[in-house]
Each structure stands twice: as C-alpha cells, then as structure tokens.
Amino acid sequence: MLRTYIADIALPSCLYNASGARCVTAAELDALAESAAGAILSKSCTPTYRAGNPLPRYYENEWGSFNSMGLPNEGYKYYAKYAAVRPHRDKPYFVSVSGLSLDDNLMMIEALGKTPPIDAIELNLSCPNVPGKPQTGYDMEHTNETLRQVAPLCLNKVWGVKLPPYFDIAHFNETAAILNQYPIHFVTCINSIGNALVIDPHSEQVVIKPRNGFGGLGGDYIKPTALANVRQFYTLLRPDIAIIGCGGVRTGIDAFEHILCGASAVQVGTALVREGTACFSRIEAELKTLMQQKGYYCIDDFKGKLKEL
C-alpha cells in the first residue's frame, strides 16, 4: 500500500530515515535495515572521520529538536563498505554526502558512484552547522557550479540534492530553474531550519554548546515550512524529479500531508531520534489507517493532489 519509487528504485515503504537520525554507525544502519523503514540513508559523510562539535549538541522538547552536531561521521569509505555487508538487501541503501568543499564532494561522489551496492546518492547542499561554512543551497551560483561539476560523475547513478528551507518565492523560482537544468532524480525538502536559537529561561542559558548556542531546528516546529517547500518544488520542478519530504513527520497524518503536497517518499528525523526505529511501523500503521478511511489504495491516489479553496 505504501510502496513507492524514486526514479527506478522501488521502496517497499515510502517512510525512511532522515540523514543524521540514528544512521552514523553500522549498528544504527543495521537497526534501520531490520525496521519497517523503506530505505536506509547514511549520515552525511565527509572524506574522513569527524568527531563533530562539542557536547551538548542535541536538544529536544515537546515541539521538536535542535542540533549543532558538526558532521560527526565515520568517513565516506565506511559508508561505501557498509553497502556490501548490510543485511536485508530488499530495501535500497542511500548515502548522504556533505563535503566541506566542492572538491571534497567531487572526490566522494566519484568514488561512491562506482560502488554498485549504493542505490543512490543524496548530495547535502544544506548543512548549517559547520563554523565558517555557509549553506551551499543559499548561494545560487555555488549551487549551479556544484551541480554542473557533479552531474557528469553521476551518469549511472540515481542522485539528488538535500535542500535548505527557502522562505521567499523568488528563491524557490531561482533554485528550481537551476535544478531543472540537471539530470537529478530527486530533491529532499527540507534540511533543518538553520541558525535558530533555543534558550532555557530558568538557567538563562543556551541549550547546546557549539556556535554560541545556534543550531538547526527540526520536528513539529518546522512542518509548515517543510510542506511549503515540498509543495513549491513539486509545482516548479520537472515532473520526473521526485520530491522527498522531510520535516515534522511524527504521525501518519504528517506523512499524509507531505504526500498530499507532492512527496513521493517521506523521511523521519526528530521522531526517529526520540522513539527509535519502532517509529516506522507506528507511522506506517497510522498512515494506512488514514488511507483506508479515505478509500485510498496507494500513495499515487493522493500524491500532489492538495486542493485549493
């Protein structure tokens, strides 16, 4: 009932993890493989191992999550090697790539593109948490140049980009016009809302240590922004580019809303960190119940079919 496709890749369920959430180590990736998730996506990787930012670097409250992890990851070779040893080959395995320079990204994508058991590459243009490194997705020229140089390396690979949230119609139009020029297969909307500030009024302190307490916001806080981005890019991008929704998916209704806005698959971040991999079977059951109540048999019955007033 929840089966979906990203390009020619079949996912047994449209629900899977957002990059960053419980996907750094082989044990975490194994747990995703064992779960009801429809795909496995790695933590964003860099050329070599990174310990990430100082602790505490993750905080959550009833409305969502807040982080400045600083790209802690095992290095791209680890995620390439995992492709060959992972259990449950019936679901696809995607690697998220987030180099600190264009050269980093080109080097990793060239290597990962030649690793056959990796089903797709999600190029992260939107990490907000590395001091001194702006989010590529907010620099249109840099985004264009990145795609121009990455595209030839991905001729035989399904690939796409993870975008930051946009807030202005001109930015949606400009970004979509750039993306439409390249043979990408998907876009993932959205990364966390970067450079937010969550504080504790009792202690009068920031709640995370890195970057004077500034970090990326996720969870319920960001669902309306995520839905707006999914809807805009669904409307503006070539129809062969799948939209993957990410942001504020905690319940089956949240996933339903993303699909209604045009998402072909939906990632779960904050709720996965909070609840563990059991979130996938719960959200799946909630989404299926809602679809049954509405008389929908598959996600194509309502994908993108948001109604206007």
Residues making contact with ligand DHB (CB under 6 A)? 20, 44, 68-71, 98, 124, 126-129, 191-192, 216
Cite the active site residues: 126-127
126 or 146, CB closer to ligand DHB?
Answer: 126
Contact 256, 248 (CB under 8 A): no
**Closest separation in Å from C-beta 100 to ligand DHB:** 11
**Closest separation in Å from C-beta 227 to ligand DHB:** 18
119 or 122, CB closer to ligand DHB?
Answer: 122
**Closest separation in Å from C-beta 58 to ligand DHB:** 9
**Closest separation in Å from C-beta 98 to ligand DHB:** 5
124 or 270, CB closer to ligand DHB?
Answer: 124
45 or 279, CB closer to ligand DHB?
Answer: 45
